[in-house]
């Protein structure tokens, strides 16, 4: 078990997984990795929800991480790499942790068990078992509107004492719960919001950063908001957020990551907006809205 891991902070990007003709698009993936390595982000999450991780088999997941690690080795920045895992059976997840232990990653992002809706005691025992088995630190992902179960603050604070549980991606959708956890968390426990539309609010209340799908676009603008707040310049942070706040609404107007993939395709960062079922590409109406927004910023790549 690692000792004194560096706590996640700042902007973490839950990277999309590019596909082409049904397979992992390695060329587009490398292009994305090089692009974001030059952006002011603090880490990457691979194979999570935005990365369509539930559609990847073990071989694809390993290839995804291997390509990312190889690209990282060619840059001067060693961006931390996180790997998204999820599941409803503790023992199956432990086997996944053992299979992925040799991978060159820095942490896991693990969602609460979905569909089964365990008790708070069950959640505590689940994550404690995972933390004991994991070769890398764990960031818990609490997103009850996807999983059907909310990890409450009492259980969360209990888990925060485990040395191999380093923080939380908070999507609990309860403002009071989020604020109370920020007030009562121990100093060695990081909280990053996963609600793109609430990024500014979370930072002003003390969050350490965000895991933001919208930061695929206008990455530097998202990072600047936190930079302004850390410098004590709240008016500049608010002005920056006011100019950016419509972007998450656009990129989540239809199920993610379809709008983000369309944007990245139209700006030439990936070669196809392809998704895997049950996810589908954006509607013609939303595609037109995204294209219009892109056209105001830079030339479109020919379709």
Residue-level pLDDT at 3: 42
Cβ–Cβ contacts within 10 Å for residue 285, how many? 10
Instruction: State the total domains in the chain.
Output: 1
Q: Are 288 and 268 in contact (CB under 8 A)?
A: no
DSSP readout, 232-267? T-HHHHHHHHHHHTHHHHHHTSSSTTHHHHHHHHHT
Q: Are 209 and 42 in contact (CB under 8 A)?
A: yes
Residue 222 domain boundaries: 10-242
For 158, the token pair is 């209990």
* Annotation says 108 is catalytic: no
* Annotation says 261 is catalytic: no
14 falls within a domain: yes
197 falls within a domain: yes
164 falls within a domain: yes
Q: Where are the alpha helices (DSSP H) in 38-147?
A: 58-73, 90-100, 120-133, 144-147
Residue the block writes with tokens 């060695």: 188
> pLDDT digit string (tens) for 136-155?
999 999 999 999 999 999 99
Residue-level pLDDT at 266: 97
Pairwise CA distance, residues 189 & 181, whole Å: 10
Task: Supply the DSSP symbol for 4.
Answer: S
> 303 pLDDT exceeds 60?
no
200 falls within a domain: yes
Q: Which helix (H) or strand (E) holds 208?
A: none
Q: What is the pTM of this model?
A: 0.94
> pLDDT digit string (tens) for 68-115?
999 999 988 899 999 999 999 999 999 999 999 999 999 999 999 999
Residue-level pLDDT at 6: 76
- pLDDT band at 302, cuts 50/70/90? low
> pLDDT digit string (tens) for 156-204?
999 999 999 999 999 999 999 999 999 999 999 999 999 999 999 999 9
Beta strands in 138-259 (DSSP E): 138-142, 165-170, 190-193, 209-211
To 10 degrees, what angle do helices 58-73 and 26-37 make?
Answer: 40
From the list 36, 169, 200, 261, the catalytic residue is 169
22 falls within a domain: yes
279 falls within a domain: no
Coarse DSSP helix, strand, coil percentages of the chain, rounded to the nearest 5 percent: 45, 15, 40
Q: Which helix (H) or strand (E) holds 43?
A: strand 43-46
250 falls within a domain: no
Cα 114 to the chain's mean position, in Å?
Answer: 17
Nearest 5°: the CA angle 5, 10, 16 is 95
From the list 141, 145, 200, 261, the catalytic residue is 141
- pLDDT band at 1, cuts 50/70/90? very low
Q: Are 65 and 109 in contact (CB under 8 A)?
A: no
> pLDDT digit string (tens) for 128-137?
999 999 999 9
Pairwise CA distance, residues 118 & 263, whole Å: 38
CATH of the domain at 63: 3.20.20.70
Average pLDDT over residues 221-232: 97
Percent above pLDDT 90 for the chain: 94
207 falls within a domain: yes
Residue-level pLDDT at 301: 54
> pLDDT digit string (tens) for 31-64?
999 999 999 999 999 999 999 999 999 999 999 9
> pLDDT digit string (tens) for 256-287?
999 999 999 999 999 999 999 999 999 999 99
Residue-level pLDDT at 5: 57
142 half-sphere exposure, CB direction, 13 A CA radius: 24
């Amino acid at each position: 078990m690692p000792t004194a891991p560096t706590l996640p902070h700042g902007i973490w990007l839950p990277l999309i997984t590019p596909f082409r003709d049904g397979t992992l698009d390695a060329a587009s993936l490398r292009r994305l990795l090089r692009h974001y390595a030059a952006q002011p982000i603090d880490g990457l999450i691979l194979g999570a929800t935005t990365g369509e991780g539930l559609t990847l088999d073990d071989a694809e997941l390993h290839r995804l991480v291997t390509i990312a690690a190889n690209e990282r080795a060619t840059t001067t920045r060693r961006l931390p790499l996180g790997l998204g895992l999820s599941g409803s059976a503790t023992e199956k997840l432990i086997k996944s942790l053992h299979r992925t232990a040799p991978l060159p990653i820095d942490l896991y992002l693990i969602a609460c068990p979905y569909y089964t809706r365990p008790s708070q005691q069950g959640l505590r025992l689940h994550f404690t078992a995972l933390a004991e088995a994991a070769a890398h630190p764990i960031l818990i992902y609490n997103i009850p509107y996807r999983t059907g179960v909310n990890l409450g603050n009492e259980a969360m604070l209990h888990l925060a004492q485990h040395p191999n549980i380093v923080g939380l991606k908070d999507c609990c959708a309860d403002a009071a719960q989020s604020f109370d956890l920020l007030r009562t968390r121990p100093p060695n426990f990081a909280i990053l919001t996963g609600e793109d539309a609430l990024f500014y609010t979370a930072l002003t209340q003390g969050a350490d950063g965000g895991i933001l799908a919208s930061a695929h676009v206008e990455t530097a603008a998202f990072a600047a908001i936190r930079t302004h707040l850390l410098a004590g310049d709240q008016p500049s942070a608010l002005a920056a957020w006011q100019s950016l706040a419509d972007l998450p609404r656009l990129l989540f107007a239809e199920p993610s990551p379809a709008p983000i993939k369309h944007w990245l395709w139209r700006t030439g960062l990936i070669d196809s907006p392809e998704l895997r079922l049950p996810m589908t590409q954006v509607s013609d109406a939303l595609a037109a809205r995204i294209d219009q927004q892109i056209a105001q910023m830079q030339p479109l790549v020919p379709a």
